[in-house]
Amino acid sequence: MKLEIIARDLYDIELINRSNADRIEFCSNLQVGGLTPTFFEIKNTFSKIPVNVMIRETNRDFIYSEDEMKLLLNEIEFCGKSNNISGVVFGMLTKENDIDIKHLKTAVSLAKEYNMTVTFHKAFDLINDFEEGYKILCDLKIDYVLTACGSNIIENITTLNKLKNIKGHTKILGGGGINSDNIDKVKDVVDEIHLGTLARENNSFNYPVDVLKINKLKKLITGG
């Protein structure tokens, strides 16, 4: 089972590379759920393990105007041309909290032009029908969906398990609210694990990434 760790800056990326983590999600402004890093940071990302970049300019919502889509596509293209980014992370919804298929298709198509993987982020937690939404992501050949299937991951174990058992193209990347008390249960109903605060000292984004802790968590989820 693969383990993805959130990085908030270039130093985090350096630290995570010293661990046994499998992948990095790179984003800024973690206090609002993560936004796009600066172009300078993206360009200067050096990592031996894959780095997926958050593409999200606002924490307002996940509804995109045409002008906002142009900005999002520009950021995807920048990541693609940087040649050091493995994937991009984004998500868009309609006003009714359904997946915005039109805009999503456009963004996925551009990312795939640069051979980057695509993760649909935690906007998925807000949609009306998880099974239908998951099938849409599979149809669009999205690689991962980062989700807790709602606001409380441990209360949504059954739903996560249902999605995993569909065995579609899109891998279930469990994330959001994972802690030392529930990680053992979550790992059994998802394909991969995504960690933020649990991978840090004092379980807080105010403290550094903890390499030894990451290695222990990797061992836990793989049964090694």
Q: Where are the domains of the chain?
A: 3-222
43, two tokens? 């360009």
Binned at pLDDT 50, 70 and 90, residue 111 comes out as very high
Cα 71 from Cα 161, distance rounded (Å): 35
Residues 28-55: tens digit of each pLDDT: 999 999 999 999 999 999 999 999 999 9
Binned at pLDDT 50, 70 and 90, residue 165 comes out as very high
Q: pLDDT at position 190, please?
A: 98
Q: pLDDT at position 30, please?
A: 93
Overall average pLDDT of the 6-11 stretch: 98
Cα 136 from Cα 163, distance rounded (Å): 12
Cα 26 from Cα 38, distance rounded (Å): 11
Global confidence as pTM: 0.97
Angle at 117 between CA 31 and CA 150, to 5 degrees: 45
Residue 70 and residue 37 in contact, taking contact as beta carbons nearer than 8 Å = no
36, two tokens? 């796009």
Residue 147 and residue 172 in contact, taking contact as beta carbons nearer than 8 Å = yes
Whether residue 117 is predicted with pLDDT greater than 80 in this model: the reply is yes
CATH, range 3-222? 3.20.20.380
Q: pLDDT at position 224, please?
A: 75
Cα 105 from Cα 125, distance rounded (Å): 19
Q: Over the chain, what is the mean pLDDT?
A: 97
Between the alpha carbon of residue 204 and those of residues 36, 37, 208, the distances in Å are 20, 20, 8
Phi first, then psi, for residue 120 (nearest 5°) are -85, 120
